[in-house]
Structure 1
């Protein structure tokens, strides 16, 4: 089957233990061809809480961002946090996650491009500019030409997935995806890392909206959220169709 998946049963592992950057990768400043804002978005930009607003520690960031061109795939993740948080505490949770990703795991910055809380609020994740194709550290072998959107929480079997969360993920995905790509379709990608489910150089056809588990040995984004990806795709398509 062209879309290979790995099941880890009902075990849910916090994603902070499962996010790896492709190696080797050297983060460099963008050139003029790739640094410009994207102009081929399929939906309007949704409201996004900036890094400055959630008080990201920019002193933790180790290097400048890499820009990889148009977004072809949206990878959906969950962060591994408990689900009973107050949405007002999301900025504090993001600051702790940033410190864990950098100080605990040794990465250059927070791994995800965007994080959405259970109230549907969208937060800027990795630095580099929300209107640009910033290479994340969220999907080993497939970080280029993709965007990583993480649901703040843990969505294992039987966990309710808030409608606002689904809508928030769909809003950022509909905006970031290249305009001519159908969120309900599939896209050709090439693995860049043998640590993914696919050998380096292997051609893969992935859902345009995929779960982390579709390319890596993990339960992420959890069975419950993974089962709701068709709803995310449908909402993304609706948002694009509604654009004037």
Structure 2
């Protein structure tokens, strides 16, 4: 079937959707080797998508192997090279929580952003385990493989074109202009058709109202962004938000960075009908865990909202979480985005660092930073965000804190762990996240955040 013959999206599909395709066994490509467990999907035409991932039944099963995809750019005959998906996607809700034990949660690779595509091919190959045995006749090598997880499925995510009208017109003549935090590029939501309010589901409308109301102390109802404040304005806001909670010393000298500009969920076009309605909070924010999304670096900053919508849909519809896992996201231009709903100034319980989601927040930089250095604008934005949000809760970005483990592969449940107030994901869980190059920047991030707090 030619690209032109692919069925066009309907009106409902234009708002986003997920194609979930089961994988099937593939014949071994090299018959000189022992059979290797391999599943996949031959080349096929599909509806438009921009984000791809692979999921499986049991969230506690680790996929030991390699997952590769190649995709065809929409409306062309051009296929990409094979691209690897990060198989160890270690962002997760804590063990024993309702989110983790809902029965809807799946194991998953990290999602990969591929841009507008309408063709796909995938292969999942189990990792070969080669063992050498000594016998009376000499040495020999035996090649074996472990089984692949059951229920492998390819998830093709269309992030949709839902963008609020106010965001689409932001920056146009006559539109109100907001302050932009230093180091940030002006945000422009995708120029695409907004969701039609008269046809919106009533539950979704109520959920959208709840998400906006959670930021009522910081921005107008329905705002597409929370504007930046200077230091004096931020200190005044701190006193208002924490009235009756601050010590005398904090009232004289609050250590808090100026509030940076934050694009709201409404601003990046979140479909509030996807997530669970209720919000869940912890007591405070004692630490920030920095992540990368491992979704590749092939996006432009004008595509960041679409990428976030894709990750959101992947987390909720494919992986079975109650909402997007991260509390905040940062793009390569330094724009900051509200993640999990519940209010950017509040201690919202996320699903970002398995075992340490309580009393912490997760900040994910959009991209992959194992070998590629993160842009200076992105690391600057992480420092600005941390200086403000940690300052709301009296935390020193250069300090240490204790968090109790909820259980994970690095620390057992119940263990009190001493961590940097700004830590990498790998500090709480055995993972490569946030990538070696981003992890190397955390020292300077702590220093910058502390300076922004006035320390």
The alignment's TM-score, normalised by the length of structure 2, stands at 0.46
For 1:204, the equivalent position in structure 2 comes to 417
1:62-100 deviation line (CA, Å, top 9, x unaligned): 241211122110100000122132101000000100010
Is 1:143 aligned to 2:357, yes or no?
Answer: yes
* 264, 276, 281: which one aligns with 1:62: 276
* 263, 266, 269: which one aligns with 1:52: 266
Is the 1:16–1:80 contact (alpha carbons within 8 Å) kept by the matching residues of 2?
Answer: no
Is the 1:15–1:79 contact (alpha carbons within 8 Å) kept by the matching residues of 2?
Answer: no
CA RMSD of aligned residues (A): 2.2
Q: What are the equivalent positions in structure 2 for 1:157-168 lying under 5 Å apart?
A: 157=371, 159-168=372-381
For 2:93, the equivalent position in structure 1 comes to 21
Is the 2:90–2:353 contact (alpha carbons within 8 Å) kept by the matching residues of 1?
Answer: no
For 1:7, the equivalent position in structure 2 comes to none
List alignment gaps of at least 5 residues for structure 2.
1-83, 100-214, 218-240, 247-254
Cα gap change, 1:13/1:187 in structure 2, threshold over 3 Å: closer, same or farther?
Answer: farther
Q: Which runs of 4+ in 1 moved over 6 A?
A: none
* Greater shift in the superposed pair: 199-208 or 181-190: 181-190
* 211, 226, 229: which one aligns with 2:439: 226
Q: Which has the higher contact order (CA 8 A, sep 6+)?
A: 1
List alignment gaps of at least 5 residues for structure 1.
1-11, 28-34
The alignment's TM-score, normalised by the length of structure 1, stands at 0.85
1:146-198 deviation line (CA, Å, top 9, x unaligned): 010000000003x12211001111111111114532211211111112x2411
Is the 1:112–1:137 contact (alpha carbons within 8 Å) kept by the matching residues of 2?
Answer: yes
1-structure distance, mates of 2:386, 2:426: 18
More strand by percentage = 2
2-structure distance, mates of 1:160, 1:43: 25
1-structure distance, mates of 2:349, 2:276: 14
More helix by percentage = 1
Cα gap change, 1:199/1:149 in structure 2, threshold over 3 Å: closer, same or farther?
Answer: same
2-structure distance, mates of 1:169, 1:183: 11
1:192-229 deviation line (CA, Å, top 9, x unaligned): 12x24111110110011100011112100000000110
For 1:156, the equivalent position in structure 2 comes to 370
2-structure distance, mates of 1:180, 1:128: 20
Higher-Rg member (1/2): 2
